[in-house]
Chains A and B, each alone.
Chain A
Amino acid sequence: MKRKKMMGMLLTAAMVTGSMASAFTCMAADEKPYDGVNLSIMIENGTDESSYQPILDLIKEKMGITVEVEFKPAGSEGTNLIKTRLLSGNMTDLMIYNVGSLLSALNPQDYFIDMAGTDLAATFDDSFTQAASFEGGLYAVPAGSASGGGVMYNMDIYEKYGLEVPKTWDEFIANLDVIKEAGEVTPLIGTFADAWTAQVPFLADNYQVMHNDPAFAEGFTSGEKKFATSEAAFRSWEKLEATQPYYNEDYMATTYDMGCDMLANGEGAHYIMTCGILQNIYTLYGEDVVNRIGVFPVPGDTEEETGLTVWTSGGLYGNKNSENVDAVKAVMEFWTSDEALDVLVENSRPSGPFHNGYKLPDTVFKGVKDQMVYFEAGKTAPALEFLTPVKGANCDAICTELVTGQTTAEEAAKAYDEDCLKMAVQLGLDWK
């Protein structure tokens, strides 16, 4: 019912709006408006194929567009590649890439199709719109679903030790202590060989920060608030420091994939990650195993402060210098349509709610259901990188330093402030 209504709305809207109208009305008439057009899309290496290939197949079938996939490396090397290709005018027609602070470093107004003011843009929720916008332009549509970040825990281990899902930070530490004393499994999985995972426990505490200091993100962007001096933000560093004794012995040599194995096999009890990991475990181990993985947010000091930090979906960007701009726009529209999402959720389980209100199927994983409680109660906040363009480039290294005991929470918070200053200078913000 909802689907019909939505389609109707979109159709009406499309009729009024010139160029887009052609794409939609033609599709309704079951013709292939872009038959024979070839496009290219850049996707991060290692992305689960089920999260994009079904849509690409459908695009080929419905619209006649062949989309060729190119892969980019993860992390800063991938960012480098994108910047180089954008600058040399050699970019793919479409790209799936982070929104938020990484977007603002790309000079998006020069390279990407601005979707602001379109009817499609009006269907996205505020958190995505804010994260994909830069200086008034909206440069991406959601490529997938949002995803909560928090503590993934193995329910079998919780049953075995008779543990309850913690509601406060102290209860969480108490649970970790119980497992550590029993000495059988790793209390907290650390996978610092993939450096980016080191920062997740810190970033996933942002609900607490925004709850206790709602003006933090804004103050941080303007340079008035710092991690070292804001009480709420500094607490995140203290919490990270407190996790020190609980990691697996070889955490510096353990990778993200090994971490997934450890959690699924019950070698580790907790893993602080985003819910995207559930799809990974599902692909590797199947339905039964993944539904024994529960999720709770990184707890705050009181029950009140405990809420979910959310990672906005990656964005699908359109190259405005593409030879087939109309086809690119049509693909971007189609990507977020109910028709495409129906196919997507059939093949790949979403790790959180979609940004355009698409209703999640009942087949979602147990962990996703756990986090939906927080979405329904409105107890969520986006991760800080979606609220401010400033994110320190060395966040992962600074977190690693803290966890390996090279620095204290005070030093780490100060080091991160200095690291962010470099980003602010590069962005031309007036920090001093």
Chain B
Amino acid sequence: MNRKRIYPAWFLLPAMSVFLVFFIIPMAVSFFFSMTVWDFSGFTFCGLDNFALFFSERSLSHSVVNTMIYAIGTSGLKVILAFFIAVFLTSGIRTKNLIRSIVFFPNLVSTVAVGMAFKALMHPTKGLFNQIIAFFGGHGPDWLGNVDMALYSVILTDVWKGVSVATVIYIAGIVSIDKNYYEAAAIDGANGWQKLKNITIPLCRPAMNSVIILSFIGGLRSFDLIWSMTGGGPGFASDVLASVVYKQYAAGFYGLSTAGNVIMLILIGLLAFPLQKFLLSKEVE
């Protein structure tokens, strides 16, 4: 009886030990160090001071709000835009293979390169965007220099770059829908909108859920694009959790930076798990 139970457990050992050494132990250690002020030569225990500081200082706590705006903004836009692009690209248009490649192209470029390119495009006086607006007689905004706009400008760039992956997932989902449904609907006299609403959307739900989860978590921990475009600025206006953690580390506040990482872990966990559960419960069999 006992032997039967233990026997398969041995097979778990290699995977478990890797998991323990590389994931569980570092996590426990970082929980500990988030409650200390440490540098490379030692540490002093300080309880929850780091967490208290993180939430009391405006420049730090503000980043939690920005992270949520960023995650919801990028994820929402990607979910909607990518769906319509995918529907368009699975329809009977001729050049769809070419267009599919073009849509995927931004994703092949390094994020930092995208950030630098868009930073140049969004330059308030010399950038292409504002020159085009000026050509038509308008006065373009200061995309990255305006305090109220900077974060949203980065969100738009992130969507431009990230919409392709979402599109590919959607395409896979839509293509796998059985054609019989559409034929049956056509026989019943359904128009295009009805097919979309009653067949495509419900049946590509699993794909949509993957897109939501992936882009939402991606948004929560986004760093590279924000860093290369605004560096968190102007001031702290577009700082998110990941950039704040990086800044604290660079400044030598290792304890505070570890605490920021723990907060990020907890936040992602608290949001992602219930979200996934909720979405899965909505999937049609």
Contacts and interface: CB of A to CB of B under 8 A. Distances in A.
A250 B125 CA distance: 7
Contacts of A428: 37, 44
B231 interface: yes
Interface in B99-142: 119, 122-127, 142
Interface residues of B, number: 38
Interface stretch (A141-149, A270-278, A374-382, A392-400): A392-400
Given A76-B250, A107-B40, A406 B237 contact: yes
Interface stretch (A13-21, A31-39, A418-426): A418-426
Nearest to B233: A400
A218 interface: no
Given A250-B123, A250-B145, A107 B59 contact: no
B147 A397 contact: no
B160 interface: no
Interface in A380-432: 393-394, 397-398, 400-402, 404-407, 415, 418-419, 422-423, 425-426, 428
Interface stretch (B18-26, B194-202, B215-223, B251-259): B251-259
Contacts, number: 105
Given A249-B124, A250-B123, A425-B37, A80 B249 contact: yes
Interface of A is mostly: helix
A104 to B, nearest CB: 10
Interface string B29-64: 000000001011100100000000100011100000
B144 A426 contact: no
Contact of A406 (B145, B147, B249, B255): B147
B250 to A, nearest CB: 4
A60 B53 CA distance: 52
B145 A252 contact: yes
B275 to A, nearest CB: 32
Q: Which residue, B57, B127, B145, has most C-beta atoms of chain A within 10 A?
A: B145
Nearest to B232: A397
B235 A253 contact: no
A180 interface: no
A48 B125 CA distance: 29
Nearest to A251: B145
A250 B39 CA distance: 40
B251 A415 contact: no
Contacts of B231: 195
A158 B234 CA distance: 31
A404 to B, nearest CB: 5
Given A393-B247, A406-B147, A425-B37, A250 B235 contact: no
A83 interface: yes
A110 B233 contact: no
A110 B41 contact: yes
A77 interface: yes
A249 B139 CA distance: 12
A173 interface: no
Contact of B253 (A192, A249, A251, A393): A393
Interface in B204-253: 231-237, 247-253
Contacts of B127: 253
A402 B37 CA distance: 30
**Interface residue range, chain A:** 35 or more
Contacts of A407: 235
Q: Which residue, A87, A252, A423, has most C-beta atoms of chain B within 10 A?
A: A252
A77 B250 CA distance: 7
Contacts of A80: 249-250
A394 B246 CA distance: 12
A195 to B, nearest CB: 6
Contacts of A168: none
A105 interface: yes
Contacts of B248: 393, 422
B235 A83 contact: no
A400 B53 contact: no
Given A404-B234, A426-B39, A397 B251 contact: no
Given A107-B41, A253-B123, A426 B233 contact: no
Contacts of A243: none
Interface string A218-258: 00000000000000000000000000000001111100000
A66 interface: no
A419 B235 CA distance: 13
B144 A398 contact: no
Nearest to B143: A253
A217 B231 CA distance: 30
A252 B234 contact: yes
B40 A76 contact: no
Nearest to B49: A425
Contact of B236 (A76, A397, A422): A397
Interface of B: 37, 39-41, 44, 53, 57-59, 119, 122-127, 142, 144-147, 231-237, 247-256
Cβ-closest 4 pairs across A and B: A252-B145, A401-B235, A393-B251, A76-B250
Given A250-B124, A404-B235, A423-B253, 11 more contacts: A76-B247, A77-B250, A79-B252, A83-B40, A105-B252, A195-B233, A250-B123, A252-B142, A401-B236, A404-B145, A405-B147
8 contacts: A253-B125, A393-B250, A393-B252, A393-B253, A398-B59, A400-B235, A426-B37, A428-B44
